[in-house]
Chains A and B, each alone.
Chain A
């Protein structure tokens, strides 16, 4: 079946512009995660959606970052007034996830964001 897809694969934007990154999770997966991967920094947790619960936004680095998940499926990560330090690969992952059990996360290919 189809895996997690992300678009665009690459995005180059000027400092100060807004960008939207899209994630299509695997159908039926209730949990969706956004991470940021910077060179030499590993994976930085950004935000987590689980079903209809309020999202865990504890990893968002500033109020310029926001995310939504419509209809429990597609998610959009928005970065307003981009800065050069926002340049990174943004990864989306989804999993089944139910209480008392932790399922494997399936990762998308990522969106490479470059802010010039």
Chain B
């Protein structure tokens, strides 16, 4: 069965510093990959997704993630974080061939941006 690992449960980082949130998944078959974000006291919302095509995908607020099939990774990066980026970030995967619309979530990474 598909599984998702987010090695860092908490990531503190100073404002304007770069950040990388790591995500690895278990299956080597074709997958769809997602990052969801949950801001304090808000619901989950999609941040970005990889379905096909370019392995580098971007969000509207400056985050990017790169699909690396050989390493089964989909790490999330931002070159300069803001206070408003403080949130819980969840990596998620669905199996393209067998259960394309069943999404499995990782345990989440809590990003805290320090002023």
Which stretch in A17-25, A35-43, A61-69, A72-80 binds the other chain?
Answer: A35-43
Complex: chain A residue closest to B101, CB-CB? A97
Q: With the chains together, A95 CA to B102 CA distance in Å?
A: 10
Majority SS at the chain B contact face: strand
Within B32-47, the residues touching A (CB, 8 Å) are: 32, 34, 36, 43-46
Partner of A102, one of B6, B36, B103, B108: B103
Q: Are A104 and B49 in contact (CB under 8 A)?
A: yes
A90 at the interface (CB under 8 A from B): no
Interface residues of A toward B: which range? Answer: 20 to 34
- Number of chain B residues whose Cβ lies closer than 8 Å to a Cβ of chain A: 24
- Expressed in whole angstroms, the minimum distance between the Cβ of A4 and any Cβ of chain B is 8
**Does A34 touch B at the CB level, under 8 Å?**
no
Task: Using A42-B106, A102-B96 as known contacts, list a sample of 15 further A-B pairs with CB atoms less than 8 Å apart, ordered by residue number in A.
Answer: A42-B108, A43-B105, A45-B102, A45-B104, A48-B102, A56-B102, A93-B44, A99-B100, A100-B100, A102-B51, A102-B100, A102-B101, A104-B49, A105-B44, A107-B45
Residues of chain B having any CB pair with chain A under 8 Å: 6, 9, 32, 34, 36, 43-46, 49, 51, 90, 94, 96, 99-108
Residue positions of A touching B, CB distance < 8 A: 31, 33, 35, 40-43, 45, 48, 50, 56, 91, 93, 95, 97, 99-105, 107-110
